[in-house]
A and B are shown apart, each in its own frame.
Chain A
Amino acid sequence: MTSTVVRASGLTKRYGSFAAVDRVDFALEEHRIYGLLGRNGAGKTTLMQLLTGQLFPNEGELEVFGRTPAEHADVLRRLCFIAESQRYPEDFTPKHVFTSAPWFFENWDAEFAERLIADFRLPLKRPIKKLSRGQLSAVGVIVGLASRAPLTFFDEPYLGLDAVARHIFYDRLLEDYAERPRTIVLSTHLIDEVANLLEHVILIDQGRILLDRDAEEVRGQATTIAGARSVVEEFVQGRPIIGREGLGGLASVTIDGRLDREERVRAAELGLELAPVSLQQLIVHLTGADLAGATEKEVAA
Chain B
Amino acid sequence: MDESRPIFLQIAEQIENDIIDGVIAEGAQIPSTNEFAAFYRINPATALKGVTRLVDDGIVVKRRGIGMFVTEGARDRLVERRRADFSAEYLRPLIIEAEKLGITIDDLAALIRAERIAS
Contact = CB atoms under 8 A, between A and B. Distances in A.
Interface of A: 32-33, 167, 170-171, 174-175, 177-178, 192, 195-199, 215-217, 219-220, 261, 265, 268-269, 271, 276-279
Interface residues of B, number: 25
Nearest to A261: B88
Contact of A216 (B7, B93, B96): B7
A196 B44 contact: no
Contact of A178 (B2, B6, B34): B34
B52 interface: no
Nearest to A278: B3
Interface string B71-95: 0000000000000000010001100
Given A196-B1, A199-B46, A268-B93, A219 B6 contact: yes
A276 B5 contact: yes
Interface of B: 1-8, 34, 37-38, 40-46, 49, 88, 92-93, 96-97, 100
A268 B96 CA distance: 7
12 contacts: A33-B45, A167-B41, A174-B41, A174-B43, A216-B8, A219-B6, A219-B7, A220-B5, A220-B6, A271-B100, A276-B2, A276-B3
B43 A198 contact: yes
Contacts of B6: 216-217, 219-220
A174 B96 contact: no
A281 to B, nearest CB: 8
Given A219-B5, A219-B6, A279-B3, A265 B42 contact: no
Contacts, number: 70
A269 B92 CA distance: 10
A212 B46 CA distance: 17
Nearest to B92: A265
Given A174-B44, A178-B37, 19 more contacts: A33-B45, A174-B37, A174-B41, A175-B38, A178-B38, A196-B43, A198-B43, A216-B6, A217-B6, A219-B6, A220-B4, A265-B96, A268-B92, A268-B96, A268-B97, A269-B96, A276-B2, A276-B5, A278-B4
Given A268-B96, A276-B3, A197 B41 contact: yes
A196 B96 CA distance: 34
